[in-house]
Amino acid sequence: MINVFGSLMGPEELAEVKSSLEAQWIGIGPKTARFEAAFAERLRLPGFTLLDSGSNALHMAIKLLDLPPGSDVIVPSFTWIACAHAVVLCGHRPVFCDVDLDTHNLTLKTVEKALTKKTKAVMAVHYAGLPARIDALKKLRLPIVEDAAHAVDSRLKGTACGSLGDVGIFSFDAVKNLAMGEGGGLTAKDPKRIARARQLRYCGIGKSGFEASASKARWWEYSVTDFFPKMLPSDIAASIGLAQLRKLDRMQGRRKAIWEVYQAEFAGLPWLTRPQDAPKDARHSYFTYCVRVAARRDAFAKFLYDKGIYTTLRYHPLHLNPIYGSKAKLPNCERLNEEALSLPLHPGLSQEDVETIVAAVRAWKP
């Protein structure tokens, strides 16, 4: 089966992990610090805190905004569930907004439609790695949390996605562009928030034993500043991340090449709408190749499945999940729920895989 998502692991990752194992240091440590510095340098971030997942980074991002209790936070419905969970976990209410049918991103207009008197922040997702127009959203003068889980290599007007708003998160899970197995992280415009993130990630314990204990005599005592879960990364994950960071340009080049083959090969298919390329002032990360199929999308997915090609829908709209009790009517998200489909796109695809996928898609009779 050709997988829809995938990573590219090899001797580089093995060597990095081996050196941590040989050093008998597998928890948070020197590799974590090296990855944080190297990642911040590559994206020119004011700083970066590594965590154990992007989902947890979202939770921490909302926490760091220190919103008034019970605030409304606008979240695009066409995204991963952790985006809304993070808002609820901090005692606020996610208010779902629609997205643009072609970019699959929220826009100033779709956000304005979802504003309430209690709206205190907006969460913008850079879907598939195509930058959302954070520049336009700033007109609302509301705090912006950027979800750059798909956008590790994306830029808007030369600035890294994730560092355009007030707080930005990244995901390094097993299928992301830069993969660690499980991993995530956070940056913020205000370096104080990045420092606070380091405090929060260890159960709200500001500093470990030796650092924390006022009296050196009792180095086992520590001060706690917040009620917060543990989100510590490991040096094993950071090791994989360091190797992936060195390979990122090569892996991005492979994603872009496959994307361009698809864009060329699927141009003439009247029943298929191709995803948008990035505009001139932006750069895409090519995380997923999400098409729209005018009719019989499920049958198309089954047709490809029977040919050994796995596809998926990212994402079942959140406002349709009863757990949120949303009464929102979001026509574009509901249409994407019926028509959108992600085709395989990752650096592990062989030339033969790509040819197989192109032939299968072109063979489909709607």
Binding site for ligand PLP (CB under 6 A): 53-55, 79-80, 82-83, 125, 147, 149-150, 171, 173, 184
For residue 150, the minimal CB distance to ligand PLP (Å) is 6
Residue in this structure with the two tokens 């991340």, named with its chain if needed: 241
For residue 213, the minimal CB distance to ligand PLP (Å) is 33
For residue 79, the minimal CB distance to ligand PLP (Å) is 5
Please state the φ and ψ torsions of residue 184, each to the nearest 5 degrees.
Answer: -165, -175
Give whichever of 174 and 269 is closer to ligand PLP, judged by the CB atom: 174
Give whichever of 236 and 360 is closer to ligand PLP, judged by the CB atom: 236
DSSP summary character for residue 246: H
Pairing of strands 93-97, 72-76: parallel
Residue in this structure with the two tokens 């990642």, named with its chain if needed: 39
Give whichever of 80 and 266 is closer to ligand PLP, judged by the CB atom: 80
Q: Name the closest residue to ligand PLP (Cβ).
A: 54
Burial code (b: 16+ CB inside 10 Å, e: under 16) for 108-134 equals: eebbeebeeeebbbbbbbbbbbbbbbb
For residue 55, the minimal CB distance to ligand PLP (Å) is 3
The secondary structure of 13-80 as a DSSP string is HHHHHHHHHHTT--SSSHHHHHHHHHHHHHHT-S--EEES-HHHHHHHHHHHH-PPTT-EEEEESSS-
Give whichever of 80 and 259 is closer to ligand PLP, judged by the CB atom: 80
For residue 216, the minimal CB distance to ligand PLP (Å) is 38
Give whichever of 169 and 361 is closer to ligand PLP, judged by the CB atom: 169
Give whichever of 76 and 356 is closer to ligand PLP, judged by the CB atom: 76
Helix (H) or strand (E) holding 6: none
Structure tokens at 108: 């100033």
For residue 105, the minimal CB distance to ligand PLP (Å) is 11
